[in-house]
Structure 1
């Protein structure tokens, strides 16, 4: 038999099978070289896998209200691991269907899934939507156990290596069990048992098909698909999980339809969790007081949960009712005469916006700043009965105008404050000195910078609701400084005391002397009884306060108090655009009244301390009652003020 030779006659020609075997060997050798190089490069700094079954978690911090009721738990929540055999079959099936349909057929990674996800990402990279990763359940477990969430090729390569190692070391059942017990479900819950308890208040062994689909849907984004952040989005995602389960043959069409029909109900304790803005605020304070916790902590706070619930309801209802007037957001802070924060609402809906307007937002105070002007004047010898004239005034180039555009002529200082007359406040601040007014405000508790231009007399000063509440506290408690605080004690779960506010309380400084305090408080009573804040009246209680509205109706305030208790209310828009004719005397005063109507019986407050000395005879003369009645009638029934040019000057 003759040999088949190559055209040059030197070597025999290889058959097809010989060539196939040759190139297979060559590719195999190069493949081995590539794998060795791949592992040498990417496995050199792989994390330690010897502590696979050790659970490390961030210590939890439990926050209690002033009566010991649980407000919230921050930090990681783990529960004992569950046995996969004790879970309903639809629980692991939901995760496999939506996260890794070929779970039982691959060895740690799915090449086709990786290619498909990369094709999708290239086609949709300009859409701005989430990209697909193509990771299997095993890869996700490797990432959660050993790696960081950084998106780079080195981490993906290490993830693949560890996934193969897991598949070689453990059975599919063990890997799936580890995954369900370690994955993060949002709301501080790690593992299927903690998630079931957190979201549904039941053990994972009792999860329904719909509940399992909702939890599996969280894997795409625990925050984005949280049933608290967006119930509709979470429901749509759960429906996709059910669709995937039907396509995979895990459930029938009838079972899918039944699961969709039976609405999933989230644990009402979590869905209605109160005081989250407050918890955010004191959570930062815990770190500054005791450092990063190394063990579970219990924080006893000053908050009163029943008052907090009433505050949240009142603010939400007030903002919703004024939606047509452009009101979008609000904040409310209550503190007692010692500075304890009893209610703290940083926005209308925490789930929609975690931005805390109670302390982080600085908005112009408007006429709510005027009490500091009048207090300064009282300290320098004026009284509520000192005669003044409401007339056009010019201070330098600045010409303040009244809200109504009208002038009342000769009135008393008391009337000027009650009716929030701008010209009188501006002239008074100029007479006593804006630097002295700023010093008074800082002495009482304003911590934000205060500019000394003449317009500061009308509230061209940016402050937070918490600042305003604590700065009004001396008016309510007999003239003593009361810095707002939210933490009484911090202790470990085992009982070791780390911080006690009562052990080193700040000094109780007298910051407002008599008779200036009594004069100012009595004038602020007039704001509520017959001035711009009459909507805040609650029959049977000794109340005082001040309204505030800024230029073009950008901010509206009412800050009011009774004996030893102050509440500040602000409403407006986060983008600082104008509302539609919202003043401090309508929406904020209404929110204040609705909240305080429920709060006052619980507080059992006393009248505002400090009596008003009788007026000097020479200053008490004149038809003051008639003047007040006439002004009130004018403001209530008069025609609306003319439209004004847009300005940054607070007006009311």
Structure 2
């Protein structure tokens, strides 16, 4: 008798797949086997053959985007899952699941014969498989087939209560018991099971319901999760706490019944209240602390072929691949930029204007910040938009915005590259007829319609490269572009990464230098960053590294940094653009360290820009109207508590840039630009000449301060002179004389008075000598 019992036990362990086991399976499934025309032994043989279509691919896991400091920006998932090893699951939690789902898991094979025989009677009475007596291996198979179902029809078939499905599950279970150990199967089951509330797998469930990892759950918490598995919605502890508590107590009772937990301990746990600490895991960028940068990264993965040959492959990688995506975003820079943009252009401003800013590191192309003054969301709601105004269409659906005078810098750079010195002088007419240009194909392009200077420029006189840039004179740059060549200006912009936001090449017309092309702030920021890096251009990049769920590193897009102009040309551009912040259209927008930049006011005040940089950080700011700048120009508007007759590049964009840069760079050592090569000074500094002020009679310290404030160097002669007119210690003379015109930086020499020349002492007569007689010649 004992031998028969042992034989029955061996037969029940289908991991060995004896003939007796196969016959038992055949008997259980006899209705299906007969229908298929198979005998019991043929059915057993069929079960011993591993299915060719049995696959166990990696489970979908959530991906996360990290900032440069490792903080989480967003998560993406098809199923909220974090896979763990079995040794990362608390033993009490493993026992709780086994107790309620399959207490004999380690004793039987693929089939629990006791449970299966129990279901056999019902199956034979009904003529079909209505009960399965499923153990953990079979439940794992069912979940696996559901996971692999790509269509709704496939999902229905995987969940249908039919003999065919049950046969398939049992056959797969037999094969899996041969392929994996019991521990491996349990681990896989715990990672694939659904626990309700969008939590897939034991780790995500523990973090969701109790805000702790699965390895730290205690008895009562373990019993709650184990009880959820059979009916994830009905026993959801957040939605149905009373039902969940009763189910928890059933699990605790079963643990005590099996002797796996002391009965007193189980009863004490059953008396405790159901206490949750729910943590929701957001899916996507909407609630990210850097939503538009997050969306940029998302689109980079979805659009770039480096992450998959097809759009579907790339989508699956993002939402199923368990990626850890490390990015370039600097939280400090991001916060400073967001505060600046929201302060000057509030998200729900009454004028309905918008602002965007992109910040790029010179020399690396790394995007350090990207902000829009709106929340990411349905633009039918005030203060929200799906459009990333800071990026190109491929990364934010923006069609771009006209860049205005920020494009003049490309004409300036082309002129300096051709060898023009700072003192190169051209006349800027009040009106300029843009004729005489050829594009890069040699075709004549131009217009007979005269163009004029905008309100922030001036004309009717000559300017140098320096002063024409400082005053942003349209007609000067149209004349300079004709001297340099339209194609040369276009090629300079292209070398610096400029293209239309649509992805198309830049359009080539006479007004190119005035910035009619529609571009993104990110492209402009990256171009200006190249000047800060002394001519080294890097494509903007947002991702530094990606690892998948197995820890394998994936290829990421490169910045492809390259030298696109000589360093001394970039140094010369930096020198000229520094003056924009000290003497030009953005005077007063300094940030307490060396910086350079350019304002941009688009025709008819349809938009305004500022692009500026230091050797350490570059940024470009756009302010305009999403409804269309020409239909809704920025004239007579009130934004952020301040009203403007007209908005220039220096009105709102430059203050946003200033505040962003100060916040981003605070506490960092200040980088310095390299002085330009002396050849660029061959015709002087290019600055407007200044008259020497009359400082004679002023105290030396006051006189020196006044001359330096005027832009001159001051030299004080070592030798003082007597002066009847000017008191001692004051300036007695200047060289050159007052009213003489000098270029800034030239030297004025001052001479200090030592006061009046002392008088000769009167003659003193010797009293012992006779006085001279009057009228004598002696």
SS at match of 1:324: coil
Q: Return the offset for 1:370.
A: 0.9
> Residues 409, 309 of structure 1: CA spacing in aligned structure 2 closer, same or farther, 3 A cutoff?
same
Kept in 2, the 8 Å contact 1:184–1:190? The answer is yes
> In the alignment, which residue of structure 2 is the partner of 1:591?
656
Instruction: Identify unmatched segments of 5+ residues in structure 1.
Output: 1-48, 87-140, 170-176, 209-218, 221-240, 251-262, 627-652
> In the alignment, which residue of structure 2 is the partner of 1:310?
336
> Residues 147, 64 of structure 1: CA spacing in aligned structure 2 closer, same or farther, 3 A cutoff?
closer
Residue 570 (structure 2) aligned to one of 517, 525, 532: 517
> In the alignment, which residue of structure 2 is the partner of 1:114?
none
> Residues 510, 162 of structure 1: CA spacing in aligned structure 2 closer, same or farther, 3 A cutoff?
same
> Residues 574, 549 of structure 1: CA spacing in aligned structure 2 closer, same or farther, 3 A cutoff?
same
Q: Return the offset for 1:438.
A: 0.4
SS at match of 1:548: strand
Kept in 2, the 8 Å contact 1:325–1:579? The answer is no
Residue 562 (structure 2) aligned to one of 476, 485, 508: 508
Note the alpha carbon deviations across 1:507-551, whole angstroms, 9 max, x for none: 63242453x43332222112212222236421x211111122323
Q: Return the offset for 1:285.
A: 7.1
Instruction: Identify unmatched segments of 5+ residues in structure 2.
Output: 1-50, 98-142, 170-188, 222-231, 247-276, 379-384, 435-446, 636-646, 694-778
Q: Return the offset for 1:417.
A: 1.6
Kept in 2, the 8 Å contact 1:201–1:267? The answer is no
Between the aligned partners of 1:484 and 1:559, the Cα distance in structure 2 is: 16
> In the alignment, which residue of structure 2 is the partner of 1:57?
59
Question: Is the counterpart of residue 277 in structure 1 residue 295 in structure 2?
Answer: yes
> In the alignment, which residue of structure 1 is the partner of 2:455?
404
SS at match of 1:570: strand
Kept in 1, the 8 Å contact 2:345–2:355? The answer is yes
Between the aligned partners of 2:163 and 2:334, the Cα distance in structure 1 is: 52
In the TM superposition, 1:406-555 aligns within 5 A as 407-413=458-464, 414-448=466-500, 449-492=505-548, 494-499=550-555, 506=560, 508-512=562-566, 514=568, 516-534=569-587, 536-538=589-591, 540-555=592-607
Higher alpha-carbon deviation: 374-383 or 453-462: 374-383
> Residues 517, 354 of structure 1: CA spacing in aligned structure 2 closer, same or farther, 3 A cutoff?
same
Between the aligned partners of 2:429 and 2:348, the Cα distance in structure 1 is: 32
> In the alignment, which residue of structure 1 is the partner of 2:367?
341
Q: Return the offset for 1:571.
A: 2.7
Between the aligned partners of 2:335 and 2:527, the Cα distance in structure 1 is: 24
Note the alpha carbon deviations across 1:391-415, whole angstroms, 9 max, x for none: 2111231322222298443242322
Number of positions where the alignment pairs a residue of Structure 1 with one of Structure 2: 485
Kept in 2, the 8 Å contact 1:390–1:421? The answer is no
Question: Is the counterpart of residue 580 in structure 1 residue 634 in structure 2?
Answer: yes
Question: Is the counterpart of residue 358 in structure 1 residue 391 in structure 2?
Answer: yes
Q: Return the offset for 1:145.
A: 5.7
Tell me which protein shows more helix as a share of its residues: 1
Question: Is the counterpart of residue 391 in structure 1 residue 430 in structure 2?
Answer: yes
Q: Return the offset for 1:378.
A: 2.2
Between the aligned partners of 1:406 and 1:347, the Cα distance in structure 2 is: 29
> Residues 196, 273 of structure 1: CA spacing in aligned structure 2 closer, same or farther, 3 A cutoff?
farther
Kept in 1, the 8 Å contact 2:454–2:603? The answer is no
Between the aligned partners of 1:461 and 1:541, the Cα distance in structure 2 is: 32
SS at match of 2:536: coil
Between the aligned partners of 2:154 and 2:551, the Cα distance in structure 1 is: 42
> In the alignment, which residue of structure 2 is the partner of 1:559?
611
Between the aligned partners of 1:284 and 1:322, the Cα distance in structure 2 is: 31
Question: Is the counterpart of residue 622 in structure 1 residue 689 in structure 2?
Answer: yes
**TM-score, normalised via structure 1 length:** 0.59
> Residues 407, 616 of structure 1: CA spacing in aligned structure 2 closer, same or farther, 3 A cutoff?
closer
In the TM superposition, 1:91-102 aligns within 5 A as none
> In the alignment, which residue of structure 2 is the partner of 1:194?
204
Q: Return the offset for 1:348.
A: 2.9
Note the alpha carbon deviations across 1:349-407, whole angstroms, 9 max, x for none: 23454433423422211111110012222223433332433421112313222222984
> In the alignment, which residue of structure 2 is the partner of 1:182?
194
> Residues 465, 325 of structure 1: CA spacing in aligned structure 2 closer, same or farther, 3 A cutoff?
same
> Residues 339, 142 of structure 1: CA spacing in aligned structure 2 closer, same or farther, 3 A cutoff?
closer
Task: Compute the RMSD of aligned alpha carbons.
Answer: 5.4
> In the alignment, which residue of structure 1 is the partner of 2:711?
none
> Residues 548, 487 of structure 1: CA spacing in aligned structure 2 closer, same or farther, 3 A cutoff?
same
> In the alignment, which residue of structure 2 is the partner of 1:571?
623
Between the aligned partners of 1:393 and 1:598, the Cα distance in structure 2 is: 41
Between the aligned partners of 1:199 and 1:468, the Cα distance in structure 2 is: 46
Between the aligned partners of 1:412 and 1:537, the Cα distance in structure 2 is: 24
SS at match of 1:574: coil
Between the aligned partners of 1:314 and 1:378, the Cα distance in structure 2 is: 34
SS at match of 1:532: coil
Note the alpha carbon deviations across 1:406-446, whole angstroms, 9 max, x for none: 84432423222222221111222233221111011111221
Kept in 1, the 8 Å contact 2:548–2:554? The answer is yes
Between the aligned partners of 1:354 and 1:365, the Cα distance in structure 2 is: 22
Note the alpha carbon deviations across 1:127-173, whole angstroms, 9 max, x for none: xxxxxxxxxxxxxx9997676676xxx78986995699999x9xxxx
Question: Is the counterpart of residue 66 in structure 1 residue 68 in structure 2?
Answer: yes
SS at match of 1:488: strand
Between the aligned partners of 1:567 and 1:273, the Cα distance in structure 2 is: 20
Note the alpha carbon deviations across 1:305-354, whole angstroms, 9 max, x for none: 32223323333333207823431342423223222222233663234544
Note the alpha carbon deviations across 1:567-624, whole angstroms, 9 max, x for none: 1222333333434233322222122111111111244341123436345249667349
Kept in 2, the 8 Å contact 1:336–1:566? The answer is yes
SS at match of 1:337: coil
Between the aligned partners of 2:479 and 2:579, the Cα distance in structure 1 is: 21
Kept in 1, the 8 Å contact 2:65–2:326? The answer is yes
Kept in 2, the 8 Å contact 1:473–1:481? The answer is yes
Q: Return the offset for 1:468.
A: 0.9
Q: Return the offset for 1:451.
A: 1.5
In the TM superposition, 1:23-42 aligns within 5 A as none
Kept in 2, the 8 Å contact 1:331–1:347? The answer is no
Residue 288 (structure 1) aligned to one of 306, 310, 317: 306
The higher relative CO (CA closer than 8 Å, separation ≥ 6) is in: 1
Kept in 1, the 8 Å contact 2:208–2:281? The answer is yes
Q: Return the offset for 1:195.
A: 7.1
SS at match of 2:346: helix
Between the aligned partners of 2:163 and 2:421, the Cα distance in structure 1 is: 84
